[in-house]
């Protein structure tokens, strides 16, 4: 446990707004009174902003208004003043073309909302995929004491005695539907039963992965990330987080004290041990660069190769997040990999990660596997490179058919999503189970926003023959709930003239995951000829946020942050006039 000097009330950031005897502060104080607060409510007390991503357009966050009230209860208990601040919500289900287009916008908003207001500490209420990295990126740059409260997974889905997992079972049963194996009635029953409560996807999708990563980084209370959203335990965790943030303000415990290179290694090791979403790679790269940590794709592969995959949760495993929670949650899992973690890393508790997980136990060895019986001896995600992905691409090896991890086949190329949608189920499409399906123009700029299209559909005629996996390659991302032999995040993307743009129908491609290689069997002279013939596409946007995004976004292997937002520099504090 650290012994940090405590801040004095006059040192609070909010004191600059409320303490001086001048006309500006008079205005600030009188307007607090307009809201019904008296002197006793704020004088000398930390102001805690609760950044809330609740929205009726976000299906996963319907409980976050109530959770904000519970955070407030904790803040009041410890003598702080909680003020709830709504921020942009990024709901995966309704937002088009993709929430990833807006991750950096929420990150900017979070940073600026903190900076421009009298905020001493901040509680970040997120959960649905991109809200987590966006809020943490913004808080990292703002660098005031911050604690992340994850929305938590929804309860398990069910249909005719089967357990249904978010996303994963949608894809599975959709393939059965396309193959003609599922009637209208059954399909509607699945629709009714797959999402049955508030909370984020309850598979080890991106939301569960990023919640676990926030905890492994030290930005959330220990054990908090797996608590199902509708459990009373989740309410109590929100109250505890409210209590803790007030103490963090007095201790001046900031993200810069927590988000070190060693903490990011812990996050990557944990990501590999839980079989986390490939999206975590893009987000962790961006988050690390905000913290001044020089993280690269290669570090993921290094740590993946020495980390066993223990979290037996779908889509790479068998169970769901509520099972993972009952089995001991992330504390239980981390207690099984202590030799791979940097146990001295400081966390929001004011204690180290080692202290946080001390005494943790695992209560179900099938859900959280022991070291001598892992789901896989190495981590879930691998980085591959080659002449069509010189800056790298990723594959979730544990979600792929092992027979396809070394495979050569002819390319069937779709120039963009619309081309694929029109032709993929054409009975005359020249495709077999050995083909390699390629989708171009699906990256950060091309799509735009690098949507989760990477689990490219199996052509219907092959589904009917019983084919359920093929090698698929794109510069897109893939939902954390998806599965299959899908090579993703090809960098640089095709839209900017990366060599992936030059793949043509019939070209042979070899994927060799063990060798970390992806190779297009086209000689350099022919590739150069295709490069010379390539024409740069017109910009997607000429105005608005899309223009800012297009001008600034980096490639997948760099984290897709905006160039002007990267790095640990902070914008100056506002003058209080």
Q: Where on the chain is the footprint of ligand FES (CB under 6 A)?
A: 60, 92-93, 128-129, 166, 200-201, 205, 207
Are 400 and 469 in contact by the 8 Å Cβ rule? The answer is yes
List, edge to edge, every strand of the sheet that includes 47-52: 81-86, 47-52, 121-126, 146-150
Pick 121 or 126: Cβ nearer ligand FES: 126
Pick 166 or 485: Cβ nearer ligand FES: 166
Report the nearest approach of ligand FES to the CB of residue 200 (Å): 3
Report the nearest approach of ligand FES to the CB of residue 205 (Å): 6
Closest CA to 463 of 406, 418, 428, 425: 425
Are 454 and 476 in contact by the 8 Å Cβ rule? The answer is yes
Pick 89 or 260: Cβ nearer ligand FES: 89
Report the nearest approach of ligand FES to the CB of residue 94 (Å): 9
Transcribe 133-202 into DSSP letters: HHHHHHHHHHTS-EEEEE--BPPPEEETTEEE-TTHHHHHHHHHHHTT-S-HHHHHHHHHHS--SSSB-S
Are 81 and 40 in contact by the 8 Å Cβ rule? The answer is no
Closest CA to 257 of 215, 291, 208, 206: 291
CB atoms inside a 10 Å sphere around CB 33: 12
Report the nearest approach of ligand FES to the CB of residue 169 (Å): 13
Pick 265 or 271: Cβ nearer ligand FES: 271
Are 429 and 459 in contact by the 8 Å Cβ rule? The answer is yes
Pick 93 or 183: Cβ nearer ligand FES: 93
Are 238 and 74 in contact by the 8 Å Cβ rule? The answer is yes
Pick 167 or 492: Cβ nearer ligand FES: 167
Q: How far, in Å, CA of 315 to CA of 528, rounded?
A: 40
Report the nearest approach of ligand FES to the CB of residue 84 (Å): 21
Pick 145 or 165: Cβ nearer ligand FES: 165
Closest CA to 401 of 452, 471, 461: 471
Report the nearest approach of ligand FES to the CB of residue 344 (Å): 32
Pick 47 or 128: Cβ nearer ligand FES: 128
Reported as half-sphere exposure (CB side, CA atoms, 13 A), residue 332 has a value of 22
Cα of first residue to Cα of last residue in the chain, in angstroms, is: 40
Q: How far, in Å, CA of 213 to CA of 330, rounded?
A: 10
Report the nearest approach of ligand FES to the CB of residue 86 (Å): 18
Which tokens in the block code for residue 273? 């041990």
Pick 128 or 248: Cβ nearer ligand FES: 128
Which tokens in the block code for residue 428? 């005359």
Pick 166 or 260: Cβ nearer ligand FES: 166
Report the nearest approach of ligand FES to the CB of residue 66 (Å): 18
Report CA-CA distances (Å) from 29 to 9, 12, 51, 116: 16, 15, 22, 16
Report the nearest approach of ligand FES to the CB of residue 287 (Å): 18
Pick 207 or 383: Cβ nearer ligand FES: 207
The residue whose two tokens read 């807006």 is: 102
Report CA-CA distances (Å) from 394 to 104, 208, 298, 403, 477: 22, 19, 11, 18, 9
Report the nearest approach of ligand FES to the CB of residue 381 (Å): 19
Report the nearest approach of ligand FES to the CB of residue 167 (Å): 6
Q: How far, in Å, CA of 134 to CA of 273, rounded?
A: 23
């Amino acid at each position: 446990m650290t012994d940090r000097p405590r801040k004095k009330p006059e040192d609070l950031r909010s004191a600059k707004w409320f303490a001086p005897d001048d006309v500006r502060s008079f205005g600030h104080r009188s307007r607090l009174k307009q809201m019904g607060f008296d002197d006793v409510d704020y004088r000398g007390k930390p102001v805690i902003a609760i950044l809330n991503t609740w929205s009726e357009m976000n299906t996963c966050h319907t409980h976050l208004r109530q959770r904000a009230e519970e955070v407030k209860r904790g803040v009041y208990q410890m003598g702080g003043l909680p003020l709830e601040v709504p921020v942009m919500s990024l709901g995966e289900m309704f937002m088009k073309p993709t929430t990833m287009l807006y991750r950096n916008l929420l990150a900017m908003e979070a940073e600026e909302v903190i900076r421009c207001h009298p905020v001493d500490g901040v509680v970040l209420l997120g959960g649905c995929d991109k809200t987590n990295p966006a809020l943490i990126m913004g808080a990292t740059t703002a660098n005031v004491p911050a604690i992340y409260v994850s929305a938590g997974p929804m309860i398990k889905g069910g249909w005719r005695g089967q357990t249904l997992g978010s996303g994963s079972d949608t894809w599975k049963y959709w393939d059965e539907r396309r193959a003609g194996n599922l009637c209208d009635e059954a399909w509607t029953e699945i629709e009714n039963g797959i999402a049955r409560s508030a909370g984020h996807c309850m598979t080890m999708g991106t939301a569960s992965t990023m919640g676990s990563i926030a905890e492994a980084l030290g930005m959330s209370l220990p054990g908090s990330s797996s608590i199902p959203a509708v459990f009373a335990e989740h309410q109590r965790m929100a109250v505890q987080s409210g209590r803790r943030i007030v103490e963090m303000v007095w201790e001046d415990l900031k993200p810069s004290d927590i988000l070190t290179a060693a903490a990011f290694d812990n996050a990557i090791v944990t990501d590999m041990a839980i079989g986390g979403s490939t999206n975590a790679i893009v987000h962790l790269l961006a988050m690390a660069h905000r913290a001044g940590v020089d993280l690269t794709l290669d570090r993921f592969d290094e740590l993946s190769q020495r980390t066993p995959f223990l979290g037996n949760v779908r889509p790479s495993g068998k169970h769901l997040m509520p099972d993972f929670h009952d089995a001991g949650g992330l504390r239980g899992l981390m207690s099984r990999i202590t030799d791979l973690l940097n146990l001295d890393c400081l966390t929001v508790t004011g204690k180290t990660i080692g202290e946080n997980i001390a005494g943790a136990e695992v209560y179900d060895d099938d859900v959280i596997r022991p070291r001598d019986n892992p789901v896989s001896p190495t981590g879930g995600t691998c980085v591959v490179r080659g002449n069509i992905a010189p800056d790298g691409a990723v594959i979730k090896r544990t979600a792929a058919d092992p027979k396809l991890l070394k495979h050569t086949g002819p390319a069937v190329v779709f120039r963009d999503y619309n081309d694929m949608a029109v032709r993929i189920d054409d009975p005359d499409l020249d495709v077999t189970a050995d083909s390699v399906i390629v989708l171009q123009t699906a990256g950060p700029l091309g799509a735009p926003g690098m949507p989760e299209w990477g689990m490219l559909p199996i052509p219907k005629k092959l589904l009917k023959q019983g084919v359920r996996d093929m090698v698929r390659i794109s510069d897109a991302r893939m939902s954390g709930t998806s599965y299959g032999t899908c090579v993703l995040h090809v960098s640089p993307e095709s839209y900017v003239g990366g060599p992936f743009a030059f793949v043509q129908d019939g070209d042979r491609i070899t994927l060799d995951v063990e060798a970390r290689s992806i190779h297009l069997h086209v000689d350099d002279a022919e590739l150069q000829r295709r490069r010379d013939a390539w024409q740069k596409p017109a910009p997607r946007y000429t105005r608005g946020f899309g223009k800012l995004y297009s001008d600034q976004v980096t490639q997948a292997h760099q984290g897709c942050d905006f160039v002007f937002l990267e790095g640990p520099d902070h914008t100056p504090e506002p003058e209080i006039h």
